[in-house]
Each structure stands twice: as structure tokens, then as C-alpha cells.
Amino acid sequence: MAAKGLKGVIAAETQISFIDGNEGRLVYRGYEARDLAVSRSFEEVCFLMWHKKLPDQHELQILKEYMQQERSLPAYLIQILESLPDNMGTMDVLRTAVSALGTEEYKWKPTAEQAARITSIIPTIIAYRYHRTKGTVPVEPRSDLAHVENYLYMLTGALPSPAHIKALEAYMILTMEHGMNASTFSARVVSSSESDLISAVTGAIGTMKGPLHGGAPSEVTAMLNEIGDKESAESWIRGKLERKEKIMGFGHRVYKTLDPRAAALSEIVHSIGKEDKWLDLAAAVEKKAIELLKEYKPGRKLYTNVEFYAAAVMRSIDLEAELFTPTFTASRTAGWAAHVLEQSEDNTIYRPEANYTGIFV
């Protein structure tokens, strides 16, 4: 019998990441992802993904400078972005724009330089489209800002606060990689035909935009907006539980204990929450929800998941819902690239079999 959706089928060996749902662990090349999110920069973790080790200061500086130089949109891509219809969603625009980057410089075999180039330019594409949909002037990237700081700057036109940079950087590190998920598998399948990195990332973006994979944590955002302030948290949550309604942002299909990504974001939020009212609200809601879930649902082991803190982070930095999945994509691109690089090291084209269940006439 076929394994529907390839569930439980091991399709590759990887050194990139390890997930233990029972113990609540997410490991990037031997390092706990939560530790990296708290102590390392986005660029440092990218280097780890692509080069299999953390960089020294010289290597980190070289990568930062290279990524800073690769942020600007080429003139032809701006023309394409300007010509796309207004009713095209941001993920559709991103897929189309990334595909247009597929010039000879991205030909097989993929390189770490290619990975850095595509990771660097995707936030600029997202920010450019965002401003065009709002009728505002796109903000040019700056070559003196770090990756996450520059992304926030391009969206708002103002230098972000250290609290917002730290929160979004942790989120982007924690969503950079998560095993052989649907979009990562798509990237590896495309790459296995010895197609280029751009084609692999384009395929992955097409997969990410599906609602079963890259959906935004909008329901958690709505919940936090409805609660409004810390003082209202207990009565609001009790009301939900009394009516036997679901509290969004708690429980996970893979993790049977605390989602390690949520744990890391929680640490960030609790350390900086007093600097931002929405992060402070999220921390208070989490604490009260965990307390009341134990009271109303004893033995269920319902813990905070990453969507809860993703929503808190996005709301705190005023990121609109239409940017949630594109921002997730901007971080996951680094992980896709790592898998494409790994696929190229010992490549065999993916060619699974199918059971014919039709008729013969």
C-alpha cells in the first residue's frame, strides 16, 4: 500500500537539521535552534546552514558585506514588478519575481554565494511590492544595516528599535529550517534534476503559498487584538474554555511537549516585553492560558506553539497580515538553499513509483 503523502517515508539523509517532537528539540547542524536564536545573528546562522560551521569574525564580515551588496533590485526586475497586476497576491508576486532572477549566474551546480544572493534580495522584493500596493514610494535598501534590520527599515522607512530587531531576528532564525517539510522537499526534487537554485526556490515558494503549509498565524493575532490588555486576559480565556472553544496558539502536530521555537521566542519576548506593549501582552496571555489550560484540560499537555509567538512578534512590529507568509518565506529561503546545496553533493534524481488504481479496457 502506498504511503499517502509519503508520510513516514525517509527520502534523504541530511546533516542540516534534526527534529525530536517528543523531547521538543530542533537542532541545526548540532546546535540547538533555540540557543542560536537567542545568541546569534541571522547571518551567522545562514553561514552555519551553508558552510556546516559557525563563522569566525572574518568569515562573518565577508558574508555580511556580500549580502549587503546583493540587496538591490536590477532594473529589469523593477520593470517586471511594476507591470504585475494589482490583484496579484504578494506570494504570487514573489514567486514570479524570483523566477525572473534565473540568469546564467545561478546555473547548476549551486554555491553558497548563490544561496547568499537569493536570500539577500528576497526581502527587497517583498518590501518593494508592499509599498506599491500601499501607494507609497519603495524604500531603497541600505548597505550599512544587518539583514533583519534592513528588512524592517525597507518596510517602514525608519530605523527599527533594538527590541523589534531582536524579536524578528529570533523568529527568522527559528523558521529558517524545519526538516523535510513540503516546500523543502519541493526544492530538493527540483534540484535533483540538476536544475538551478532559482528554479528550486521558485518551486518551494509555490509550495509555501498553499494554505496547508505557509499559512499565517492570523487567528492568534485576532485573539490578541480581541483581548486587548493584560487585565482582560483571564476573563477572556476562561470564557473561551467555559464555552469549550479552542485557544489559538497552543498545541502542535509534531511537538508533544513545548515547541522549542516557541520556547526561544518566549525567552526573547520575556526579556524585551516591557519595551513593547504587544510583546508584554503576549507574555501575559501565554502565562494565563497555560495556567487555565492545566485547570480545564488536565493531562492534555497543551503548550505554546510557534504560531503564538510568531503572531506576537508580527503584531508588535506592526507587520500586516499580508506580510506574514512572505516574511516566513524570506527566512526559510536560507534553509531551502542549504538543502539544495546538500542535494548537489550526492545527487540522485527523485523518481518515486505510483500504484496504478485505474481500470484496463
Catalytic (active-site) positions: 252, 307
CB 98 within 8 A of CB 125: yes
Calculate the dihedral angle through the C-alpha atoms of 70, 75, 79, 84, rounding to the nearest 10 degrees. 0
Eight-class DSSP state of 16: S
Q: How many CB atoms neighbour CB 18 within 10 A?
A: 14
Query: Which residues does 180 contact at the CB level (< 8 Å), separation at least 6?
Result: 11, 12, 14, 188
Give dist(CA 236, CA 176) in Å, integer.
33
Give dist(CA 242, CA 296) in Å, integer.
8
Give dist(CA 108, CA 193) in Å, integer.
10
Q: 18 φ, ψ to 5°?
A: -135, 130
Give dist(CA 171, CA 267) in Å, integer.
12
CB 267 within 8 A of CB 282: no
Q: How many CB atoms neighbour CB 325 within 10 A?
A: 25
CA 120 to chain centre: 14
Distances (CA, A) of 176 to 49, 144, 235: 9, 23, 36
What the block records as the C-alpha cell of 7 is 508520510
